[in-house]
Amino acid sequence: MNIFSELKKSLIVALWFVFLTFPIMVIRVNTIEKIIEWRWRNMLIIAIGSFLVSLLWRYLLTRKQTQTDSQLEKRPLSQLIFEEPKVYKPILVLIGLFVVIFPFIFSSYQINIMTTALMYVMLGLGLNIVVGLAGLLDLGYVAFYAVGAYTYALINHHFGLGFWTILPVGALLAAFFGILLGFPVLRLRGDYLAIVTLGFGEIIRLILENWNEFSFGPSGIAHISRPGFMGINLNLNESIIYLYYLMIFFCLITIFVINRLQNSRIGRAWIALREDEVACQAMGIDKTKTKLTAFALGATWAGMVGVIFAAKTTFVNPASFTFLESAMILSIVVLGGMGSIVGVFIAAMILILTPEYLRAFSNYRMLLFGAVMVLMMVFRPQGIVPNVRRFYRFRRVTSNPGNLYDKSS
Amino acid sequence: MEYFLELLLGGLTRGSIYALIALGYTMVYGIIELINFAHGEIYMIGAFTALIIASVLTFHGFTGFSVLILASVVAVIYSAAYGYTVEKIAYKPLRQAPRLSPLISAIGMSIFLQNYVLIAQTSDFLPFPNLIPELPFLEEYSHIMGPAQLLIVITTAVVTIILTLFIKFTKTGKAMRATAQDRNMAMLMGVNVNKIISNTFIIGSALAAIGGVLIASHIGRINFYIGFIAGIKAFTAAVLGGIGSIPGAVLGGLVLGWTESFATGYVSSDYEDVFAFLLLVLILIFRPAGLLGRSAIQKV
Amino acid sequence: MTNLLEIHSLTMMFGGLKAVDDIDIYVAPKEIAALIGPNGAGKTTVFNCITGIYNPTEGDIFVCRPGGVKKRINGIKINKATELGIARTFQNTRLFPNMTVLENVMIGRHCRTRAGVLGAFLRDSSTLREEQQIIDFSYDILVHVGLADQVNELAKNLPYGDQRRLEIARAMATEPFLLLLDEPAAGMNPRETDELRELIDRIRNDKAISVLMIEHDMKMVMGISDRIFVLDYGKKIAEGTPEEIRENPVVIKAYLGEDFTIDA
């Protein structure tokens, strides 16, 4: 690789980006006072930034290309960790300990943030069934989340029923909506499915926004009951801690269930469907039914988190259920790795907690989500923690004289 | 009757804009079978660039139609440059990847560009300078058709005709059609496929910019979010007409424009966007090949 | 004995093009039949009609499981065809690239097993038993086709010849009575082709599965088939035993050009 020519290439890229970003980054017009602001400093930042990024970009691209040939056989680190109980057991114990004592070391503000992050873990894992396992790009996932949240909000508002009663109702109703939408659209090709689900998500939000008699419009519904704890009334602080533990409990259940699903007959069918639809059908798998199961299960999870969300914030309005929310959940799945439970967990923590704790980042939050999606697809489509491959135990057939092709004989 | 006429012309204006954006979707989809989610953002960037240039010029005392022309030219150049760059960054490295990858990358790009403009500029609506001259002969009909609307309809018609001729008769146009038919075969016949794909993005983005400038000067104000909804609606138009088909995109745009116009005019204006989404969902379910598209035979 | 597969005057049109034009084909139990003809003769289209990927424009396709009832399957759903007992491989192998060799075959067991979502949650004893049966059955098939050493390899990392055999194994996991092989020997070297030939022979003899295959390797076709159907431009131009086909002047002329003899 010629360093000089690489530098020259990057210089050209830098100049290109200076040109490209000039009107948007440098000029800002104040249309009220009719003043033009020239931000030349931005131009300098863009020039230096794009120069460096372009060097790094090409380096990573070439590395990725050479890697696919030579290092394909290498098992990912995550795989090695999960195969060695001596390594992963202490890690799990440490994490478990941290999780349990967390509310006692941190303020209720921090606990609240953590609870939110755990909600996204659950949403991410739910969407992971649909996108990661079954390969169905669902861009309207937030609609099912909204169904759950409004189910609790409305029933609680009108009839005063509590959290635990509505939780299964919200989940089932979301599943019902999932099937309702799934039936017609699941035979569509992948990219059409993406856009139809996006449209569906927007329809749900617009209905919530405009149908005032039903959903109280943009002002939303307030004073929703928090979850009760065996009939005891909790004060605010207690209920924050209670919700935190509740979320831990739900996350554990989710991980448990999804892990089992993944390694089941249905889970395999989902993965096969993602890999090759025609071959999958030719193996006798009912495409529509299998997709519908994935879709409905994903929706169920969103519905559950929706109920929890309404109970946590005690207030819902349509603004919480925009497309950007769907995109955020999607970028968690993409960053974590399609089908990877650990990956989704870590990704949710990174993407939700970083903007919360690094205030400087919070403005760039959505920018970050967008960039994550592009960069992960280009450089690491398998995600930060690739899905762990499972190996099966089988009965060894010892005597097999008729086998002509057994390479060992 | 007059109300009907007003809705009809309103739908025509709307539809023309959708058609201009839909052309970009349809061309890109025809060539690389990708829903270019970032296309709506390219349109928004076109509108923003035009607004910035036009504002700078008007603050310095220049006014009139020539400013609009100049701003449009700059917007077209910039949108084309953005379209070209987006393709190089987010789609080109993913040519061989599974279908889902470029789609996710495209969504990421769309969110990125939206927020890039939001952060670098503002989240507020900005007013677009009024640069379209009043036409005296239209004054009588001003309540049903203003000069801006006339401009939109005429521009769309001219642009579509030029594009059709371009694709039919120029060498690049023929290479585009060849690539859309069979990329590998086109490559074997000596077509530089990468260049053709770049050109497609450039042309599509330029058309979106024209749409952006027209809508900005018609509505009179824009913000960073206009690309999202317009993008989905234009995509609806492209699918409605039959994705991959250029006359289809125009027809789809007009049908969608009229649907929206009449639905909001006669039914309810609260659900303006719902009608478009509903139409999208219905077409994809019942006639995924669109009005002018042919259903493809699955190859095994 | 009734035929496993009977196709009567099958026609398949694409727009104005007749890809398959009024052909009759049948396959008897425990028989290896071959479908040959130049590229574009409509062979794969016939396969796609049988397996439900296309709905034929005209004609009838009947299948009859040994000891079962004759059934018309025009326009059947793809997965239903497999459930009935018709399994296939593809001209360009269509494995699940990021699944292991064993998992690929396990997918083939899907339509013969039952466990649902609830079973996956609960992992009750019947689900666990079924899962183990799936694994064992799949492993046995892999032993049968000679891929036992690569069970945990990702399908995409297999050499080409092994991928072809894995596709056959996967199809066999669905317990078909009729196996459709689309150019199984394509891209194989002579040694691999010989191995494949023995494998197909064994599938027929040990498992009592009938085979209908599309193949260009004349040595293999002539050596293994009980019956050969020759297609050209969508029309059936000949049918018969390998000997009959070898001497059929129409076949020699249309398919291989003048002055040519089929040697095997």
Inter-chain CB proximity A137 and B298 less than 8 Å: no
Query: Contact C120/A281, CB-based, under 8 Å?
Result: no
Can you spell out the DSSP letters for C16-78?
TEEEEEEEEEEE-TT-EEEEE-STTSSHHHHHHHHTTSS--SEEEEEE--TTS--EE-TT--H
Length of chain C: 264
Same domain, C155 and C169: yes
Residues C136 and C252 in one domain: no
Q: What integer pLDDT is reported at residue A408 of this predicted model?
A: 36
Give CA–CA dist C130/C99, Å, rounded. Answer: 20
Strands of the sheet containing C17-27, edge to edge, are: C17-27, C5-14, C58-63, C71-72
B239 CB within 8 Å of a chain A CB: yes
The tokens for C11 are: 């026609």
Test A265 with C94 for CB contact under 8 angstroms. Answer: no
**A72 to chain C: closest CA residue:** C157
pLDDT by residue (tens digit) across A202-237?
889 988 988 888 888 888 888 888 887 766 777 788
The tokens for B187 are 């490559």
Chain C residue at shortest CA distance from A275: C96
Cβ distance of A192 and B271 shorter than 8 Å: no
User: Which residue ranges does chain A devote to CATH 1.10.3470?
Assistant: 90-379
Which of the listed residues C173, C200, C225 is the one where a domain comes to its end?
C173
Of B118, B277, C229, C98, nearest in space to A370 by CA = B118
Is B297 at the interface with chain C, CB within 8 A? yes
Rounded distance, CA A68 to CA A368, Å? 27
Residue B298 in contact with partner chain C when CB distance is under 8 A: yes
Asked whether residue C90 is assigned to any structural domain, the reply reads no
DSSP assigned state of A102: H
Within 13 Å and on the Cβ side, how many CA atoms surround C241? Answer: 2
CB-nearest partner of A381 from B59, B101, B120: B101
Residue whose tokens read 């070439």: A62
Pairing verdict, β C32-36 and C210-214:
parallel
pLDDT computed for residue A249 by the predictor: 93
C103 touches chain A (CB under 8 A): yes
- Residue A389: its pLDDT value, please? 65
Contact criterion met (CB < 8 Å) for A393 and C97? no
Of the three residues C151, C173, C195, the one that is the final residue of a domain is: C173
Give the model confidence (pLDDT) of B257-299 as tens digits. 999 888 888 887 777 788 888 888 888 778 877 777 665 555 5
Tell me, rounded to whole angstroms, the distance of Cα A348 from its chain centroid: 7
Which residues on C lie below 8 Å from B300 (Cβ)?
44, 48, 53, 90-91, 94
Nearest in space to B167 (alpha carbons), one of B135, B203, B216:
B203
Interchain contact, C115 vs A266, CB within 8 Å = yes
- Across chain B, mean pLDDT equals 87
Joined tokens for residue C181: 């092989």
Task: Give the CB-side neighbour count of residue A45, counting CA atoms within 13 A.
Answer: 8
* pLDDT digits 0-9 by tens, B160-171: 999 999 998 999
Give residue C114's pLDDT: 86
Q: Is C116 left (phi over 0), alpha (psi -120 to 50) or beta?
A: beta
- Subunits close to B (at least 3 CB pairs below 8 A): A, C
As a whole number of angstroms, the distance between CA A216 and CA A221 comes to: 7
Q: Alpha carbon of C11 to those of B299, C45, C100: distances in Å?
A: 18, 10, 39
Measured CA to CA in angstroms, residue B89 lies from A61, A66, A375, B42 at distances of 11, 19, 9, 14
In whole angstroms, give the CA distance from residue A374 to residue A225.
40
Residue C181 within a domain:
yes
Same domain, C79 and C187: yes
Task: Compute the distance between CA of residue C162 and CA of residue A190 in angstroms, rounded to an integer.
Answer: 30
What is residue C247's predicted lDDT score, i.e. its pLDDT? 85
Question: Which residue range(s) make up the domain with C35?
Answer: 1-85+176-264
Q: Is the pLDDT of residue B133 over 90?
A: no
- Residue C125 within any structural domain of the chain: yes
The pLDDT tens digits of the residues spanning B192-204 come to 889 999 999 999 9
Mean pLDDT calculated for residue range A394-405 = 45
Q: By the CB < 8 Å criterion, does B300 face chain C?
A: yes
pLDDT of residue A68: 60
Architecture of domain A90-379: Orthogonal Bundle (1.10)
Residue with tokens 């590395």: A63
At A114-150, the pLDDT tens digits run: 999 999 999 999 999 999 899 899 999 999 999 999 9
Q: Are residues C181 and C262 in the same domain?
A: yes
In angstroms, the separation between the Cα of residue B295 and the nearest Cα of chain C is: 11
Domain assignment present for C206: yes
- State which H helix or E strand residue A197 sits in: helix A190-210
- Contact between B89 and A374 using a beta-carbon 8 Å cutoff: yes
Token code pair at residue A105: 């070391």
Whether B186 shows a pLDDT value over 90: the answer reads no
Structure confidence at residue B106 (pLDDT): 93
d(CA C244, CA B220): 81
Cβ contacts of C91 on chain B, cutoff 8 Å: 300
pLDDT at A405 (0 to 100):
36
Last residue of some domain: C173, C202, C219? C173
**pLDDT given at position A70:** 47
User: Out of C51, C96, C116, whose CB is closest to A266?
Assistant: C116
Facing residue for A23 by CB, picked from B52, B104, B111? B52
pLDDT band at A400 (very low <50, low <70, confident <90, very high): very low
Residues in CB range of C249: below 8 A, 6 or more apart: none
Q: Tell me what pLDDT residue B294 has.
A: 60
Output the tens digit of pLDDT for each of chain C's 264 residues: 588 899 999 999 987 888 999 999 999 998 999 999 888 888 999 999 999 999 999 999 999 888 888 889 898 899 999 999 999 999 888 999 888 899 999 999 998 888 888 888 888 888 888 888 899 999 999 998 888 888 888 888 898 889 999 999 999 999 999 999 999 998 888 888 999 999 999 989 888 899 999 998 888 899 999 999 999 888 898 899 998 988 888 887 776 665 455 554
Q: Say which of C116, C136, C174 has its CB closest to residue A284.
A: C174
In this structure, are C41 and C168 located in the same domain? no
**Alpha helices of chain B — where are they, by DSSP H?**
2-32, 39-59, 65-86, 100-120, 147-169, 171-181, 183-188, 193-219, 226-241, 246-266, 272-286
Asked if the model's pLDDT at residue A401 lies above 60, the reply is no
Type and span of the H or E element at A217: none
As for how many domains chain C has, the answer is 2
pLDDT for residue B240: 87
CA A49 from chain center: how many Å?
29
Question: Terminus-to-terminus CA distance in chain B, angstroms?
Answer: 54
- What is the pairing mode between strands C227-232 and C210-214? unpaired
Q: Which has the minimum average pLDDT: A279-288, A326-335, B87-96, C65-74?
A: C65-74
Two tokens at C129? 């038993």
CATH of the domain at C234: 3.40.50.300
B101's CB contacts (< 8 A; 6+ apart) are A377, A381, B94
- Any domain includes C253: yes
According to DSSP, the residues that pair with C34 across neighbouring strands are C213, C228
Considering only the beta carbons, identify the residue of A269, A297, A405 that sits closest to C145.
A405
Classified as helix, coil or strand, C88 is strand
What tens digit of pLDDT does each residue of B27-59 get?
998 888 888 999 999 999 999 999 999 999 988
Q: How far apart are CA A354 and CA A357, in angstroms?
A: 5
Q: Among A207, A278, A374, select the one facing B105 at the smallest CB separation.
A: A374
Tokens 């007003």: give the residue: B6
Pairwise CA distance, residues B89 & B198, whole Å = 12
CA dihedral B208, B214, B219, B222 (to 10 degrees): 50
Q: Are strands B221-222 and C5-14 parallel, antiparallel or unpaired?
A: unpaired
Give the containing element (helix H, strand E) for A56.
helix A40-70
